[in-house]
Amino acid sequence: MRFLCMVQTDENPPWEIPGALYEAMAAYDQEGRLNGTLVESRGLLPSAAGAIVSAADGRVKAIDGPFAEAKELVGGYAVVDVRSREEAVELGRRLVQLHLEHIPEWRGTVEIRQIADF
Amino acid sequence: MVEQATRAAIEAVWRLESTRLIAALVRMLRDVGLAEDVAQDAVVAALAAWPVAGIPANPGAWLMTTAKRRAIDVLRARARHDRAAAELAHDLAEVVDEDPSAGIDHVEDDVLRLMFICCHPALTAEAQTTLTLRLVAGLSTREIARAHLAPEATVAQRISRAKRTLAEVGAAIEEPAAAERAERLGTVLGVVYLVFNEGYSATEGEDWMRPALCDEAVRLGRILTALVPEDPEVLGLSALMELQSSRLAARADAEGEPILLDAQDRRRWDASRIRRGVDLLDRAVALVAHAGPAAEPGPYVLQASLAAEHARAASVDDTDWERIASLYERLARRTGSPVVELNRAVALGRARGPEAGLALLDQVSDLPAMRGYHLVPSVRGDLYAQLGRWDEAAAEFGRAAGMAANARERGLLERRARDARAAGGPIASS
């Protein structure tokens, strides 16, 4: 079963992101390649490079980023291929823990959603 | 309830860690059986400790340390009459408390070595498959038994016999030499593809497919591409499995009845798997081109190219059957497989008309390897049907149904025989 894991966090956080976190993330990804769970993963550019298309009063409205009013945004995602939801949760737990190890005051969530297969 | 949740969490950790855990233990202990036993002991210890103390921050390292300690105990018990065990126990004791993550730093080499060991030439193909699923994929004996429709006791016996064979030949100690390495890698790819195929078109039993086996094989293929990223055949196999599994959802109807390629709803093919497969194939083809002008793509790259041709085509009629026939011709030259010729007959039939397909089929259907193979009369029936020779088509489909071991496939062939008889009925009786 495949899951989409979305890392959501403050887009303009008060904390510094140390280079060591990027290295730890690369190591985490490599681990996922070696145990066959990682299908793909990517970081996302700031919302300034994106847009939101929505329905407003029955009409379609498109607004370019940045999304000022949103508190937490998806900053990266991974698609994982695992045998149980618990495995996806464990992978998510490790991801959050990784952030906390490098940024003790880090706040964020990993939303884990199963991908419909059939 | 909490107990249940913890158990599931521990099982998840085991799933994620077992491959590298066992691979590292095999390196340290040079004994596959012992490595697996102490890894299991570590899991039992986790089941006792974690529900009380919570899951440790680094569960993989916890399991590794626990398994190593257990290994030291076992080796010390053996040390009385085995000097090598005494030395090994001493060496392990040196490193076990220094750094809990020590010994997980050669993971690539370890996992590849484990794959080579599981595919040792002293083992039968059946043993290689079972051991790979057990030690590399981390499936339980029960899961393997369920996947292969074999009694659990049979699988357990197969595993212990395989471990005994490996111990006798000292497989866990040796590294395959460079010359043998390529051959051994070929065996590993063959074993993984065997697992995939058993899932993709189950040869026995009631199910037309067993997607769980396909998933395991795709995962093993993914691990291999991480371990050997520069080998075109490794990429080719992974591409092939991604492309073929993109059709899983479209290959059976809601009742589980098979739907053949022609009749599949291509909108149900998984586009993201197709994209991944095509990307992998492109990388593989680039590597072959890079190897020089004389370099020929290997069997997995050719098969992935074939799968990609189907994936690119919006419909059966849009398919480039000439290119497919020529790819099959190259594949036949590489493999000498009559089954490949059978597929080439299908492609030629599409590209140049059913007579061309029948002409090739006549050349290959009498080969010893083709005897008793249900797809020979099945393909022949299909070509007769395209020519409107319904009676002959019905007879061939009937013959094929009598040979098929898979219940779903047999049902499909019987249905085709009935349809052909119905189509030819009024004319045949007049």
Each residue of B361-392: pLDDT tens digit?
Answer: 999 888 888 888 899 999 999 999 999 999 99
Q: How large is the average pLDDT for residues A74-103?
A: 95
Task: Specify the CATH number for the domain of residue A47.
Answer: 3.30.70.1060
Q: How confident is the model at residue B303 (pLDDT cuts 50, 70, 90)?
A: very high
Segment of B71-80, B118-127, B194-203, B400-409 carrying the highest mean pLDDT: B118-127
Would you tell me how many other CB atoms lie within 10 Å of the CB of residue B336? Answer: 10
Q: Is B226 on the interface with A (CB under 8 A)?
A: yes
Task: Find, in chain B, the residue whose alpha carbon is nearest to that of A93.
Answer: B57
Whether the predicted pLDDT of B409 surpasses 60? yes
Q: How confident is the model at residue A69 (pLDDT cuts 50, 70, 90)?
A: confident
Chain B: closest CA distance from residue A57 (Å): 33
Q: Could you tell me which residue, B293 or B222, shows the higher pLDDT?
A: B222
Strand ranges (DSSP E) for B83-219?
A: none
Chain B: closest CA distance from residue A94 (Å): 8
Alpha carbon of B88 to those of B30, B83, B92, B178, B357: distances in Å? Answer: 10, 9, 6, 27, 63
Say what the pLDDT of residue B1 is: 52
Q: Is A34 on the interface with B (CB under 8 A)?
A: yes
Q: Is B214 on the interface with A (CB under 8 A)?
A: no
Chain A: closest CA distance from residue B13 (Å): 7
Whether the predicted pLDDT of B155 surpasses 60? yes
Dist CA B137 CA B97 (whole Å): 29
Say what the pLDDT of residue B99 is: 56
Q: How confident is the model at residue B180 (pLDDT cuts 50, 70, 90)?
A: confident
B408, B430 in Cβ contact below 8 A? no
Q: What percent of chain A has pLDDT over 70?
A: 99
Dist CA A101 CA A81 (whole Å): 25
- Mutation site for A-interface testing, chosen from B4, B13, B15, B248 by largest number of A Cβ within 10 Å: B15
B95-153, pLDDT tens digit by residue?
665 555 555 557 788 999 999 999 999 999 999 999 999 999 999 899 888 877 789 99
Q: How large is the average pLDDT for residues B340-352?
A: 93
Whether the predicted pLDDT of B323 surpasses 80? yes
Structure tokens, B333: 């030259």
B258-302, pLDDT tens digit by residue?
888 889 999 999 999 999 999 999 999 999 999 988 899 999 999
Q: How large is the average pLDDT for residues B215-240?
A: 96
- Chain B residue numbers with beta carbons less than 8 Å from the beta carbon of A81 are 215, 218-219, 222
Element (H, E) at A35: none
Chain B: closest CA distance from residue A14 (Å): 26
Dist CA B57 CA B44 (whole Å): 18
For residue A7, list its beta bridge partners: A76, A110
Task: Find, in chain A, the residue whose alpha carbon is nearest to that of B238.
Answer: A36
Whether the predicted pLDDT of B429 surpasses 50? no
Q: How confident is the model at residue B76 (pLDDT cuts 50, 70, 90)?
A: confident
Whether the predicted pLDDT of B322 surpasses 80? yes
What is chain B's mean pLDDT, rounded? 89
The contacts of residue A63 (CB under 8 Å, 6+ apart) are A51, A52, A53, A54
Hey, where are the domains in chain B? 2-105
Q: Does B11 contact A84 at a Cβ distance shorter than 8 Å?
A: yes
Whether the predicted pLDDT of B430 surpasses 50? no
Q: What percent of chain A has pLDDT over 90?
A: 90
- Chain A residue numbers with beta carbons less than 8 Å from the beta carbon of B108 are 34
Q: Which of B57, B223, B248 sits opposite A35 (nearest CB)?
A: B223
Q: How confident is the model at residue B428 (pLDDT cuts 50, 70, 90)?
A: very low
Into how many domains does chain A fold? Answer: 1
- Chain A residue numbers with beta carbons less than 8 Å from the beta carbon of B59 are 90
SS3 per-residue string spanning B14-65: HHHHHHHHHHHHHHHHCCHHHHHHHHHHHHHHHHHHHHHHCCCCCHHHHHHH
Chain B: closest CA distance from residue A63 (Å): 28
Q: Does A83 contact B15 at a Cβ distance shorter than 8 Å?
A: yes
Q: How confident is the model at residue B358 (pLDDT cuts 50, 70, 90)?
A: very high
B1-43, pLDDT tens digit by residue?
557 778 888 999 999 999 999 999 998 888 899 999 999 999 9
Q: Which of B16, B218, B249 sits opposite A35 (nearest CB)?
A: B16
Say what the pLDDT of residue B88 is: 75
Q: Is B102 on the interface with A (CB under 8 A)?
A: no
Q: Which of B107, B219, B249 sits opposite A36 (nearest CB)?
A: B219
Q: Could you tell me which residue, B241 or B371, shows the higher pLDDT?
A: B241
Return the CA Rg of chain A. 16
* Structural domain that includes position A83: 2-114
Dist CA A41 CA B40 (whole Å): 32
Whether the predicted pLDDT of B421 surpasses 90? yes
A43 — phi, psi (to 5°)? -90, 155
Q: Is B20 on the interface with A (CB under 8 A)?
A: yes
Dist CA B309 CA B56 (whole Å): 48
Alpha carbon of B208 to those of B16, B248, B251, B318, B410: distances in Å? Answer: 29, 11, 9, 27, 10
Residue B31 — left, alpha, or beta (φ > 0 → left; ψ -120 to 50 → alpha)? beta
- Mutation site for A-interface testing, chosen from B13, B104, B222, B224 by largest number of A Cβ within 10 Å: B222
Dist CA A14 CA A112 (whole Å): 25
Say what the pLDDT of residue B418 is: 95
